[in-house]
């Protein structure tokens, strides 16, 4: 598909590189030559220099024949104008990044006039992600599949866990839980395990199963924690506002520490149920005074990565059970992995991922591939793909143990109607099923590609 | 410097060259040319085996930067020339290692300067390989590789930019691979059209194929001693004139025509300058030489052919311009330096660089008159980035230095001023014929081995636009940590 991206910042750049590696034709518009030169050098795309909300520049980029226009500059107004123009020029779909709460509320009102297919608010999306993690505190990451019926959860096996030294085939025998471990990270390497694979303490495992089964599994292996009752948020920006709002709706007690008095007053007005503290969130005295040790969760959302990491590490030292930090420079993942912090959130990456997911879903309706959703796991080393079985494919009706599938590939879940099947060797794939495949091989386009 | 990746790409290239060798090998078999067949098969085996060995270890870190791109391009062209010379040497068609190398470099760089005095004595398959190197070198062998091989595409723009000629290199479509494919499709179609026109005009099939290859790459290796004049056909001369000029046009314009964007295609400033220069030179030379020819038409035809051959840096000949008046010869010399459009298969300084230089000169003048005026340099209505203008001035400076340096080295052979100077210029511009003892009816065989080596380097420098080769001699490039 032909995709035009306006704005080559963090969000635009991430989307461009993702979509370019997936084989789309990408044209990036930005008014900064240096950024564009760099983009063209490191990605397989072309660039157009200029203001993305100007007709002449959009014409030069060929928006008339584009399948999607994505406006991801830092200015909401520019994004909306760019989408409006693009739609009028003939782009089939338009996606705008809109982050100001005032505009978001009127997007629905203007949706027809703007012709937006989707609007993305990075801060809101990130707040949603954090709230999901806080509701399920033992997980490092959670990805929903099949419209939320199946979850793919990443956890670390603790020291002295019953799983230490256990081969995968023994799990069901021991505990009678129907879960599937579909990827294991150990010392920076990723394995798609077979039944004989032996787990070790310290492994990060990706587990798929329906929600209830996962809860049961966690309780058995001793890493289940009840959901948080109180959360302390350091930094009172937009993300803090969205997160606090969601948490308050879930009846979680919220405390926000913010340095700017004006902002404190605003938050106080908007979030009457939250406790707003005016003060420096990196002040140890203040943190102790406000009872950091006693809270269930700490989320650091200041604009400085360093402060977020320092405060998070301190909270971890004080035995806060769930600590999440906002990070902008997510590309230093080698360091982040080593830190004892439960989760990292980058709003821009999340926004980019949401858009990429949307584009992929759209591709299914246009292109030949029938991938329903695609998740990149473990620093993009593993893909989890959801396929819909529409017609008779060579994999239909054959017990899984007789299918000669590729190496490093796993049929993780079969969804048949309302039933979620964690497949064993005798299960079969039938027409009408949704099937989730986990693989280290990239670019599966069709379900039959899983065969050797 | 990512040496692993460099070796890996080079291995791929070498294997590709080996596979290309299968075409002349098949011809040698068909014509029953025993020694040539053996030579081609041996080279094929050597290339494929060495290439496969080099690319057997796929590097983990495939990341390359601009410098790796330049080094890969420079090394691969040298490597291609060395291995491409093997058939000439092994079949005994050309004597002397240096002569074989010169002939191959001249082929790949699309220069068309030869050291042979009797071309017609060579086996047909060897003649085919000579012209085939033109065709392959014209659009660029790395571009070909990008079109056919699955590479890590993200950074392959570095490779394409290092090989493609012109001050600014851009992609036609977002993907490097599709761009490379498109370029080659346009190239192949144009070549086929010329082949057909020549063939149905009555040229033997072999000749029309080989001459089309030589024109397409703007090379100029002929298979007759008297070049195109040997056919003595007005029709062939006009067809070849037109196609030489067509191959000197920026290929991006053909793409614009293909997607029916006529407005932008016609707005192209480089094309208009190119047309003006060509037409102006043809008319001036016609006026200058018409009294030497029986009819005005024949004077015009010869002027047009020679101007097209020199501007497009092909270097075919139908008339010996050595015998023309001084004014025409000087004009021809200037066209040799200038060359055709960027993004074409032609060599030389490129018209677009010339336009930018003219505009920079005009800007200087304006700046003296209005010291506080702000002046932008525009091309096709868009601002030319300062990076590009700096690049152009830098290029010209290095070009002049190289020209002078090679001129001094070649003058050690003690030939006259015109011969030494024009031989260097014609090699740097990848044209072929020069003036004096290297005119259109002469060859380069009489130079010493040393001078031939210098001229080979000049041809490579000219084809790759200087910097890739220069980079090979920069010590920091060879250190592991780039310090």
Q: Chain A within 8 Å of B155 (Cβ-Cβ)? A: yes
* Whole-number Å distance between alpha carbons of B161 and B391: 14
Chain A environment of B155 (Cβ under 8 Å): 41-42
Write the DSSP symbol of residue A183: E
Strand A275-278 with A297-300, pairing: unpaired
- Interfacial residues of A (vs B; Cβ cutoff 8 Å): 2, 17, 20-21, 25-27, 33, 40-46
Q: Chain A within 8 Å of B152 (Cβ-Cβ)? A: no
Q: How many CB atoms neighbour CB B468 within 10 A?
A: 23
Which residues, other chains included, contact A197 with Cβ-Cβ below 8 Å and sequence gap of 6+? A167, A168, A181, A184, A191
Contact B170 A26 (CB under 8 A): no
Of A2, A20, A46, the CB nearest to B171: A46
Contact A44 B173 (CB under 8 A): no
Listing from the earlier edge strand, what are the strands of the sheet with A150-156? A141-145, A150-156, A204-210, A180-186, A189-191
Please classify residue A242 by burial: count the beta carbons closer than 10 Å to its beta carbon, then call 0-12 exposed, 13-18 middle and 19+ buried.
Answer: buried
Two tokens, residue A327: 């990070």
Q: What is the pLDDT of residues A134-170, one digit of tens each?
A: 877 777 777 777 666 777 888 888 777 777 888 888 8
Closest Cα of chain B to A25: distance in Å? 5
Contact between A192 and A438 (Cβ < 8 Å): yes
Chain B environment of A39 (Cβ under 8 Å): none
* Whole-number Å distance between alpha carbons of A408 and A393: 21
Chain A environment of B376 (Cβ under 8 Å): none
Buried residues in B294-304 as b, exposed as e (16+ CB within 10 A): eeeebbbbbbb
ipTM: 0.74
Q: Chain A within 8 Å of B120 (Cβ-Cβ)? A: no
Contact B174 A40 (CB under 8 A): no
Q: Where are the alpha helices (DSSP H) in B21-65?
A: 22-31, 34-54
Q: Chain A within 8 Å of B173 (Cβ-Cβ)? A: yes
Q: Which residue of A has its CA nearest to B160?
A: A41
Strand pairing partners for A451? Answer: A405
Of A21, A25, A41, the CB nearest to B158: A41
Q: Chain A within 8 Å of B171 (Cβ-Cβ)? A: yes
Q: What is the mean pLDDT of chain A?
A: 83
Contact B157 A27 (CB under 8 A): no
> For residue B458, what pLDDT is reported?
93
Q: What is the pLDDT of residues A188-243, one digit of tens each?
A: 778 888 778 888 888 888 888 777 777 778 777 766 666 788 999 999 888 999 99
Contact between B167 and B350 (Cβ < 8 Å): yes
Q: What is the pLDDT of residues A81-132, one digit of tens each?
A: 999 999 999 888 899 988 887 787 787 777 777 778 888 888 888 888 888 8
Contact between A94 and A116 (Cβ < 8 Å): yes
Q: Chain A within 8 Å of B170 (Cβ-Cβ)? A: yes
Contact B173 A25 (CB under 8 A): yes
Residue A345 phi, psi (nearest 5): -130, 130
Q: Which of A3, A44, A442 to mutate to test the interface with B (most CBs of B within 10 A)?
A: A44
Of B153, B157, B174, the CB nearest to A41: B157
> For residue A379, what pLDDT is reported?
66
Chain B environment of A46 (Cβ under 8 Å): 170-171, 173-174
Measured CA distances, B142 to A341, B73, B101, B308 (Å): 47, 7, 20, 27
Q: Which of B174, B180, B181 to mutate to test the interface with A (most CBs of A within 10 A)?
A: B174
Q: Chain A within 8 Å of B66 (Cβ-Cβ)? A: yes
- Tell me the CATH class for A136-221: alpha beta
Q: Chain A within 8 Å of B385 (Cβ-Cβ)? A: yes
What are the pLDDT tens digits along chain B (483 aa)?
Answer: 788 888 988 998 899 999 999 999 999 999 988 888 999 999 999 999 999 998 888 887 777 888 888 898 999 999 999 999 999 999 888 888 999 999 999 999 999 888 888 888 889 999 999 999 999 998 888 888 787 776 655 677 777 777 777 777 778 888 888 888 888 999 999 999 999 999 999 899 999 999 999 999 998 888 888 888 888 889 999 999 999 999 999 998 999 898 888 888 888 899 999 999 999 999 999 999 988 899 999 999 999 999 999 999 998 888 888 889 999 999 999 999 999 998 888 888 999 999 999 999 999 999 999 988 888 888 888 888 888 889 899 999 999 999 999 999 999 999 999 999 999 999 999 998 889 888 888 889 899 999 999 999 999 999 988 888 988 888 887 776 654
Q: Is A218 helix (H, G, I), strand (E, B) or coil?
A: helix
Q: What is the pLDDT of residues A376-413, one digit of tens each?
A: 776 667 878 777 777 767 778 788 778 777 777 888 88
> For residue A368, what pLDDT is reported?
47
> For residue A38, what pLDDT is reported?
87
Contact A44 B156 (CB under 8 A): yes
Q: Which helix (H) or strand (E) holds B285?
A: helix B269-289
> For residue A370, what pLDDT is reported?
65
Contact A20 B154 (CB under 8 A): yes
In CATH terms, the superfamily for domain A369-450 is Regulator of K+ conductance, C-terminal domain (3.30.70.1450)
Question: Count of alpha carbons within 13 Å of B114, Cβ hemisphere only?
Answer: 28
The answer on pLDDT for A324 being more than 50 is: yes
Which residues, other chains included, contact A46 with Cβ-Cβ below 8 Å and sequence gap of 6+? A26, A27, A28, A40, B170, B171, B173, B174
Of A17, A26, A40, the CB nearest to B157: A40
Q: Chain A within 8 Å of B38 (Cβ-Cβ)? A: no
pTM: 0.81
Percent of chain A with pLDDT over 90: 19
Contact B174 A33 (CB under 8 A): no
Task: Give the CATH fold of the A2-120 domain.
Answer: Rossmann fold (3.40.50)
Closest Cα of chain A to B156: distance in Å? 8
> For residue B359, what pLDDT is reported?
93
> For residue B409, what pLDDT is reported?
95
Contact B385 A33 (CB under 8 A): yes
The answer on pLDDT for A56 being more than 70 is: yes
More confident residue, B183 or A424: B183
Of B66, B157, B175, the CB nearest to A25: B175
Closest Cα of chain A to B66: distance in Å? 8
Contact between A322 and A297 (Cβ < 8 Å): yes
Q: Which residue of A has its CA nearest to B385?
A: A33
Chain A environment of B157 (Cβ under 8 Å): 40-41, 44
How is chain A split into domains, by residue range?
2-120, 126-130+228-349, 136-221, 369-450
The answer on pLDDT for A442 being more than 70 is: no
Chain A environment of B154 (Cβ under 8 Å): 17, 20-21, 42-44
Chain A environment of B66 (Cβ under 8 Å): 41
* Whole-number Å distance between alpha carbons of B157 and B159: 5
Q: Chain A within 8 Å of B472 (Cβ-Cβ)? A: no
* Whole-number Å distance between alpha carbons of B165 and B463: 8
> For residue B204, what pLDDT is reported?
92
Chain A environment of B65 (Cβ under 8 Å): 41
Q: What is the pLDDT of residues A348-376, one digit of tens each?
A: 888 888 888 788 777 665 544 566 667 77
> For residue B263, what pLDDT is reported?
83
Contact A41 B175 (CB under 8 A): no
Angle at A29 between CA A24 and CA A34, to 5 degrees: 110
Residue A258 phi, psi (nearest 5): -140, 145
Contact A46 B170 (CB under 8 A): yes
Q: Which residue of A has its CA nearest to B62?
A: A42
Of B155, B173, B178, the CB nearest to A42: B155
Closest Cα of chain B to A41: distance in Å? 6
Chain A environment of B379 (Cβ under 8 Å): none
DSSP assignments along B163-178, one per residue: HS-SS----SSS-HHH
Q: What is the pLDDT of residues A19-46, one digit of tens each?
A: 888 788 999 999 988 888 888 888 888 8
Contact B154 A21 (CB under 8 A): yes
A2-120 against A369-450: fold identical = no
Task: Give the CATH fold of the A126-130+228-349 domain.
Answer: Rossmann fold (3.40.50)
Chain A environment of B158 (Cβ under 8 Å): 41
> For residue B356, what pLDDT is reported?
92
Contact A44 B66 (CB under 8 A): no
Q: Chain A within 8 Å of B390 (Cβ-Cβ)? A: no
* Whole-number Å distance between alpha carbons of A280 and A107: 35
> For residue A223, what pLDDT is reported?
67
């Amino acid at each position: 598909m032909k995709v035009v991206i306006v704005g080559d910042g963090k969000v635009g750049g991430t989307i461009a590189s993702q979509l370019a590696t997936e084989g789309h034709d990408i044209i990036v518009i930005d008014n900064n030559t240096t950024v564009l030169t760099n983009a063209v050098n490191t990605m397989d795309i072309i660039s157009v220099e200029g203001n993305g909300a100007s007709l002449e520049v959009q014409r030069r980029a060929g928006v008339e024949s584009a399948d999607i226009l994505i406006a991801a500059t830092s200015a909401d107004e520019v994004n909306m104008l760019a989408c409006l123009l693009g739609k009028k020029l003939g782009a089939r779909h338009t996606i705008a990044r809109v982050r100001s709460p005032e505009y978001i509320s009127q997007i629905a009102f203007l949706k027809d006039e703007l012709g937006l297919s989707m609007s993305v608010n990075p801060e809101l999306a990130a707040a949603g992600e954090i709230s999901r993690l806080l509701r399920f505190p033992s997980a490092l990451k959670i990805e929903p599949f099949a419209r939320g019926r199946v979850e793919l959860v990443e956890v670390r096996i603790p020291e002295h866990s019953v799983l230490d030294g256990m081969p995968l085939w023994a799990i069901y025998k021991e505990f009678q839980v129907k879960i599937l471990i579909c990827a294991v990270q150990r010392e920076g390497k990723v394995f798609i395990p077979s039944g004989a694979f032996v787990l070790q303490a310290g492994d990060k495992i990706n587990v798929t199963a329906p929600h209830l089964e996962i809860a049961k599994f966690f309780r058995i292996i001793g890493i289940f924690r009840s959901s948080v009752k109180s959360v302390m948020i350091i930094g009172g920006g937009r993300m803090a506002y969205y997160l606090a709002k969601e948490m308050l709706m879930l009846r979680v007690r919220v405390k926000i520490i913010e340095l700017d008095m004006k902002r404190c007053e605003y938050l106080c007005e908007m979030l009457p149920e939250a406790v707003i503290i005016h003060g420096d969130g990196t002040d140890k005295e203040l943190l102790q005074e406000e009872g950091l040790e006693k809270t269930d969760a700490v989320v650091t959302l200041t604009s400085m990565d360093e402060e977020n990491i320092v405060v998070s590490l301190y909270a971890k030292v004080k035995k806060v059970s769930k600590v999440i930090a906002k990070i902008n420079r997510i590309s230093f993942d080698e360091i982040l992995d080593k830190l004892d912090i439960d989760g990292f959130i980058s709003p821009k990456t999340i926004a980019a991922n949401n858009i990429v997911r949307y584009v992929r879903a759209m591709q299914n309706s246009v292109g030949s591939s029938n991938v329903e959703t695609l998740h990149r796991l473990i620093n993009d080393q593993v893909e989890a793909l959801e396929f819909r079985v529409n017609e008779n494919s060579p994999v239909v009706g054959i017990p899984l143990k007789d299918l000669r599938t590729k190496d490093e590939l796993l049929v993780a879940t079969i969804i048949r109607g309302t039933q979620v099947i964690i497949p064993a060797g005798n299960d079969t794939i039938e027409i009408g099923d949704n099937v989730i495949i986990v693989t280290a091989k990239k670019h599966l386009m069709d379900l039959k590609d899983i065969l050797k | 410097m990512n040496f692993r990746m460099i070796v890996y790409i080079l291995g791929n290239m070498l294997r590709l060259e080996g596979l290309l060798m299968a075409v002349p090998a098949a011809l040698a078999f068909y014509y029953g040319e025993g020694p040539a067949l053996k030579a081609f098969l041996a080279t094929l085996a050597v290339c494929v085996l060495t290439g496969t060995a080099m690319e057997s270890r796929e590097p983990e870190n495939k990341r390359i930067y601009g410098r790796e791109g330049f080094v890969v391009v420079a090394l691969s062209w040298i490597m291609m020339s060395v291995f491409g010379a093997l058939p000439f040497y092994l079949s005994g068609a050309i004597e002397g290692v240096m002569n074989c190398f010169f002939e191959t470099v001249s082929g790949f760089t699309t220069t068309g300067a030869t050291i042979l005095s009797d071309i017609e004595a060579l086996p047909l398959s060897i003649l085919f390989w000579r012209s085939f190197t033109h065709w392959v070198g014209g659009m660029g062998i790395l571009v070909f590789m990008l079109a056919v091989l699955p590479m890590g595409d993200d950074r392959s723009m570095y490779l394409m930019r290092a090989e493609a000629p012109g001050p600014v290199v851009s992609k036609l479509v977002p993907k490097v691979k599709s761009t490379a494919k498109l370029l080659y499709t346009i190239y192949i179609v144009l070549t086929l059209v010329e082949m057909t026109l020549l063939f149905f005009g009555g040229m033997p099939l072999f000749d029309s194929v080989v001459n089309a290859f030589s024109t397409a790459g703007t090379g100029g290796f002929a298979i007759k001693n008297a070049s195109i004049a040997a056919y003595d056909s007005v029709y062939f001369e006009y067809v070849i004139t037109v196609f030489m000029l067509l191959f000197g046009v920026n290929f991006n314009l053909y793409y614009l025509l293909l997607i029916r964007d006529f407005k932008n295609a016609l707005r192209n400033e480089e094309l208009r300058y190119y047309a003006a220069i060509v037409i102006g030179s043809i008319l001036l030379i016609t006026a200058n030489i018409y009294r030497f020819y029986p009819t005005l038409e024949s004077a015009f035809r010869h002027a047009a052919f020679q101007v097209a051959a020199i501007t497009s840096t092909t270097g075919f000949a139908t008339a010996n311009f050595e015998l023309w008046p001084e004014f025409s010869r000087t004009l021809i010399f200037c066209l040799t330096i200038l060359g055709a459009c960027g993004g074409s298969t032609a060599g030389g300084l490129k018209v677009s660089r010339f336009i930018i230089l003219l505009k920079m000169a005009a800007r200087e003048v304006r700046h003296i008159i209005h010291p506080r005026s702000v002046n932008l340099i525009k091309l096709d209505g868009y601002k030319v980035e300062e990076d590009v203008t700096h690049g152009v001035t830098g290029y010209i400076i290095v070009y002049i230095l190289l020209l002078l340096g090679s001129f001094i080295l070649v003058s050690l052979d003690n030939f006259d001023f015109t011969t030494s100077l024009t031989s260097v210029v014609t090699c740097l511009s990848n044209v072929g014929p020069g003036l004096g003892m290297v005119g259109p009816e002469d060859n380069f065989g009489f130079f010493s081995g040393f001078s031939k080596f210098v001229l080979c380097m000049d041809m490579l420098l000219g084809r790759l636009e200087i910097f890739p080769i220069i980079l090979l001699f920069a010590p920091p490039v060879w250190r592991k940590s780039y310090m």
